Amino acid sequence: MSLGYDVAALEELINQFERMPGIGRKSAQRMAFYVLDMDHDAAKKFASAIENAHESIKQCSVCCNLTENETCSICQNEARNKKIVCVVEDPRDVMAIERTHEFDGTYHVLHGAISPADGIGPEELTIKQLLARLDGVEEVIMATNPTVTGEATAMYVSRLLKPLGIKVTRLAYGVPVGADLEYADEVTLTRAMEGRREI
Residues that bind a second copy (CB under 8 A): 3-10, 12-13, 16, 20-23, 27, 29-36, 38, 40, 43-54, 56-57, 65-69, 72-74, 91-92, 94-95, 98-99
Nearer to a second copy, 12 or 118 (CB): 12
Nearer to a second copy, 20 or 131 (CB): 20
Residues contacting residue 34 through CB under 8 Å, at least 6 positions apart: none
The answer to whether 33 and 55 are in contact (CB under 8 A) is: no
Nearer to a second copy, 63 or 168 (CB): 63
CB of 88 to a second copy, least distance (A): 14
Give the DSSP letter of residue 179: -
Residues contacting residue 140 through CB under 8 Å, at least 6 positions apart: 84, 85, 86, 87, 108, 130, 157, 158, 161, 166, 167, 168, 169
Nearer to a second copy, 34 or 190 (CB): 34
The answer to whether 140 and 165 are in contact (CB under 8 A) is: no
CB of 165 to a second copy, least distance (A): 31
CB of 189 to a second copy, least distance (A): 27
Give the DSSP letter of residue 171: P
Pair type for strands 58-59 and 66-67: antiparallel
CB of 185 to a second copy, least distance (A): 23
Nearer to a second copy, 61 or 158 (CB): 61
How many other CB atoms are found less than 10 A from the CB of residue 150? 23
CB of 8 to a second copy, least distance (A): 7
